[in-house]
Amino acid sequence: MKRFWTVTCALAFALALSPAQAWEPKKPIRVIIGYGAGGSTDAIGRLMLKKIEEQKGWKFIVENKSGAQGALAAIEVKNAPADGSVLGLLSTGNFALDPFLTKSSQYMPEDLDYVGTIGKIEYALIAAKDAPYNNLAELAAHTKKNGPISFSSTGKILDLAMERVSDKLGIAFVSAPTSGSAQSLQLVLGGHANVTISGGVHVPYVQSGKLKVIAVMTGARADYAPEVGTSLEQGGGFSIENYFLLVAPKNLPADARKAIADAIDDAVKSPEIGDYAAKTFNTRVNLGAKGSTDDVMAQSRAWREWLPNSKLAK
């Protein structure tokens, strides 16, 4: 009997010490990435998951589901059980903009929970080194005199960003969509298109002097081209805030949501993610669960207000 009490006391003590039963996944978590294997989202996502495996001892099963520009992945996460066993990795634009571009979207930004971000994609408007314009004002003046320029576009969000800036400054352009930023870069490098908006992959070409930055399309100036102003500074009135975004099915239990958000935050803070983001010219940043939810909602409101004005969105 004495022994019984000792064990019970020890157990009670142990329970009292453990912090309010932190949530742990019961089985490996499926992570559905809305982009192809080896792409920039996939690469940084897998690195972060590996970090969580090291730090927390959780296990992940990664699936790349790149169909329908990420819509398939978004829908799969939306329909998954909300118990922390399934996560998705996409980007802000997939939720804040894409659902409003088709008539019959099978998901809306409100249909999911947002649990954090890994980094921000550093977009810039770039042109060939010898282009006769160096900033947005000169670009506007050039098109007023010589007619429209050609814009090689890698995604709808970039098309719309270019349209918003152009409307504001009076730049005339024709958009030609491509299937990837590598292709867009080749068109500009080969002189087949005048400008493009690229997210990071252009940096080596800027550094080697083959391309130049007309405007940084995000909120702050870029380290590799500190002399170039952002589109906001140049009066373009719009900047792109696109994040590598982690999502979960709606109404995740509070403890699971917190544990997952914390795990993401710890991993994103690791030096490996910092190094990797720097190497690929993206900015490491985690907005957190609340921050990324607010960001998606704010951006989707802004896009819904703008879209009726857009000619390209039709």
Partner 1 sequence: MDVFSNLMLGLATAATLENLSYCLIGTVLGTAVGVLPGLGPSTTIALLLPFTFALGPTPSLIMLAGIYYGAQYGGSTTAILLNLPGEPSSAVTALDGYQMAKQGRAGHALAVAALGSFFAGTVATFVIVLFAPVMTSLALEFGPAEYFSLIVLGLIFSVALAHGSVVRALAMVVLGLVLSLVGNDVTSGEARFTFGRLELAEGINFVTLSVGFFGVAEILRNLETEGAEGTATKIIGRLLPSWPDLRRCVGPVLRGTALGSVLGILPGGGALLSSFASYSLEKKLSKTPGEFGKGAIEGVAGPEAANNAGAQTSFIPMLTLGLPANAVMAMMVGAMVIQGIVPGPNVATEQPALFWGLIVSMWIGNLMLLVLNLPLVGLWARMMTIPYTWLFPAILTFSAIGIYSLNGNVFDLYALCLSGVLGYVLLRLGCEPAPFLLGFVLGPMLEEHMRRALLLSFGHPSVFVTRPISAGLLILALLALLAVALPAIARKRSKVFAE
Q: How many CA atoms lie within 13 A of 47 on its CB side?
A: 22
Residue type, 74: A
Distance of CA 224 to the CA centre of its chain: 20
Binding of partner 1 by 85 (CB under 8 A):
no
Which of residues 23, 25, 34, 40 is near partner 1 by CB under 8 A?
Answer: 40
* Residue 212: its H or E element: strand 211-216
Binding of partner 1 by 156 (CB under 8 A):
yes
Least Å from the CB of residue 235 to partner 1: 26
Least Å from the CB of residue 29 to partner 1: 15
Tell which residue, 281, 283, 119, has the closest CA to residue 201: 281
Binding of partner 1 by 148 (CB under 8 A):
yes
Binding of partner 1 by 183 (CB under 8 A):
yes
Binding of partner 1 by 203 (CB under 8 A):
yes
Q: Say if CB 189 and CB 128 are below 8 A apart.
A: yes
Q: Say if CB 244 and CB 88 are below 8 A apart.
A: no
Q: How far apart are CA 126 and CA 128, in angstroms?
A: 7
The angle formed by the CA atoms of residues 219, 205 and 143, to the nearest 5 degrees, is 65
Q: Which stretch binds partner 1 (CB under 8 A): 119-127, 173-181, 247-255, 292-300?
A: 173-181
Binding of partner 1 by 186 (CB under 8 A):
yes
Binding of partner 1 by 47 (CB under 8 A):
yes
Distance of CA 156 to the CA centre of its chain: 14
The site for partner 1, by CB under 8 A, has a size of 58
Binding of partner 1 by 96 (CB under 8 A):
no
Binding footprint of partner 1 on the chain (CB under 8 A): 36-40, 42-43, 46-47, 50, 62-69, 71-72, 75, 101-102, 104, 106, 147-148, 150, 152, 156, 174-179, 182-183, 185-187, 189-193, 201, 203-205, 207-208, 210, 275-276, 279-281
